[in-house]
Amino acid sequence: MTRKLSGILLGVFFVFALTTRATSAQTIEEAQSPPSVINHVIASNIKSDNDDKNKKDDKSGKATPSTEELQAQLKAQQQELDAVKEQVKRLEAMMTAMIPKSTTTAEVPSDTKAIPKDPNEPVRISEYLAAKRAETENLAAKRAEAKARATDDTPRELLPDIGQIGAEVNLLVGGAQNPYRSKAGFFGGGSINLPLRRVPGGKLSYEIMVTLQKSKTDIQVTSPVFALVNSALNRELGNPPSVNNLFGPLPITNPAEERSTVLTVVPAALKYTVTSLDRIRIRPYVVVGLGTYVSLSTQNLKQFDANRFVAIPSVAALLNRLLQGPLIGGLAPAAPELRDRGIGQGQGDIRFGLNFGGGVEFRVTRRTSFGIDYRVNKIEGRNSTYSTLAFKQGFHF
C-alpha cells in the first residue's frame, strides 16, 4: 500500500513538472508565434488540462472523456476565437472609414497627441474625437462672429482711427478760359474725394470741388445814361433840342476794363480712378458732375474825365463824381455813398451746368501726390462754355 501511494505521488509530481515546463515554453512562444502556433499551444494546454482532469477523475472513480469529445471542445473554442478575430477586423474597418484621410495634426489641439499620418495605421478614438471637437468649436465661433456682424446696428464712422481710407484732398492752381468771351485768367480752388467702392480696374469716388477764377478784358461800352446826361447838359447850355445832343459833349461809348469773377461749386461728381498702374505710381482718372456757377462782372472806365469835355470846372467835378467808377451792367456806376463804404459792385447771376474732365496723378509718397487736372464746364446760355487746366497737389488719408 505504501509503495502504491509513493508511486502515485511520484507520478503526480512528474506530471506537474511537465505541465509547468510546457506552460512556460508556450508563454515565450506566444509573443513570437503566428496565429496557427498560438492555436496549437492553446490546444496543447487544453489537452494537458484534460489529462490532469482525467487522472483526477481516474483517482476519484469518474469516467475519462473520449478523444472525440476533446476534439469537439477544441473545435468549439477555435470557432469562438475565429469569431472574436472577425469582430476585431470589422471594428478596425469601421474606424478607418470614419476617420477621413485629410485629417492632419494641425486640427488636433495642443493637449492631444498627433493623429498618425499613415491612413492605414490605427487611430485612437479619443484623438479623433478631440480633433472633431476642435473643428466643431472653430466652426461655431465663426458662425457666431458672422451673426454678430449681421445684427450689429452700430453706425460706421468715416475715420474710426487715423489711417488710410482712400480719401484725398487736392489743391488746384492754374489758368482758365473764362466764359462770355472773356480773356484767360487765374484759376484756383480745391476738391475732396471720398471713396465709394471698388470697381473693375480701379475705384469709384465721390468728389466735391470749389474753384474761383478771375480775368480782365479790355472792351468798349456804350452807356445810355451818358446820353441822358448829354441831353440835360445841352439844355442847360442853351443848345437847341436835337438828336445830336445825345452824343455830346460827353462820349457815350468809352473804353473800359471788364473784371470778371466766376465761382464754381460742384457739389456732386463721380470720379473713376485707375489703380492697376499703382506699381509705377501713376493713377489716371476721369470725372463728371453737376455744377453751380456764380458770375460777377464790372466795367471800369479807363480814360473818362469830364474836364476834357466841359469847360465849367464845377460842373465837370460833379460829373466826375457821379460817372467815374465801376459801371454796373455797363450803364452807370453805383451811388458814391455805396462806393465810399466799400460795398461790392457789379452785375451777376447764378447758372447751372455740367463739369467733366480728367487728369493724372503721380504718387510721391504714401500720403502725397501731384498731377495735372483738366476740366470742361458747360453752362446754360450763350458763350458760356470754358475750360480750366491746373496743377494739382494731393494729400491722401
Q: Same domain, yes or no, for 125 and 91?
A: no
- Tens digit of each residue's pLDDT (9 = 90 or more) over 226-276: 888 888 888 877 777 777 778 778 888 888 888 889 999 999 999 999 988
User: Which residue reads 482711427 in cell numbers?
Assistant: 161
Q: Same domain, yes or no, for 229 and 378?
A: yes
Instruction: Say how far apart CA 200 and CA 179 lie, in whole Å.
Output: 37
Q: Same domain, yes or no, for 184 and 301?
A: yes
Instruction: Say how far apart CA 214 and CA 388 lie, in whole Å.
Output: 12
Instruction: Say how far apart CA 361 and CA 321 lie, in whole Å.
Output: 53
Total residue count of the chain as it appears in this document: 397
User: Which residue reads 471713396 in cell numbers?
Assistant: 195
Q: Write the DSSP assignment of 80-96 as a string of letters.
A: HHHHHHHHHHHHHHHHH
Q: Same domain, yes or no, for 112 and 81?
A: no
Last residue of a domain, one of 98, 123, 152: 98
Q: Same domain, yes or no, for 367 and 301?
A: yes
Q: Same domain, yes or no, for 82 and 113?
A: no
Question: Quick check: 170 and 394 in contact, CB under 8 A?
Answer: yes
Q: Same domain, yes or no, for 239 and 382?
A: yes
Each of the 397 residues of the chain gets a pLDDT tens digit; together they read: 444 444 454 454 444 444 444 444 444 344 344 444 444 544 555 555 555 555 545 544 545 667 778 888 888 888 888 887 787 777 777 766 665 544 444 444 444 444 444 555 555 667 777 787 888 888 888 888 777 766 655 445 455 544 567 788 999 999 988 888 888 888 999 999 999 888 898 899 999 999 999 988 888 888 888 888 888 888 877 777 777 778 778 888 888 888 889 999 999 999 999 988 888 889 999 999 999 999 888 888 877 788 888 878 888 888 878 787 777 777 778 777 777 787 777 778 899 999 999 999 998 888 889 999 999 999 988 888 899 999 999 998 8
Domain ranges, residue 65: 2-98
Q: Same domain, yes or no, for 177 and 122?
A: no
Q: Hey, how many other C-beta atoms are within 10 angstroms of the C-beta on 107?
A: 15
Nearest to 342 by CA among 320, 326, 319: 326
Domain membership flag for residue 65 = yes
Instruction: Say how far apart CA 214 and CA 351 lie, in whole Å.
Output: 17
Q: Same domain, yes or no, for 285 and 208?
A: yes
pTM for the full predicted model: 0.55
Q: Same domain, yes or no, for 302 and 353?
A: yes
Question: Quick check: 105 and 114 in contact, CB under 8 A?
Answer: yes
pLDDT of 285 reads 95
Burial zone of 232 (CB within 10 Å; 0-12 exposed, 13-18 middle, 19+ buried)? exposed
Domain membership flag for residue 140 = no
Question: How many domains is the chain built from?
Answer: 3
Q: Same domain, yes or no, for 84 and 178?
A: no
What 3-state DSSP class applies to 182? Answer: coil
Domain membership flag for residue 357 = yes
CB-side neighbour CA atoms (13 Å) of 105: 9
Q: Write the DSSP assignment of 289-339 as a string of letters.
A: EEEEEEEEEEEEESS--GGGT-S-HHHHHHHHHHH-SEEETTTEEPPHHHH
pLDDT of 86 reads 81
Instruction: Say how far apart CA 352 and CA 388 lie, in whole Å.
Output: 17
Q: Same domain, yes or no, for 300 and 282?
A: yes
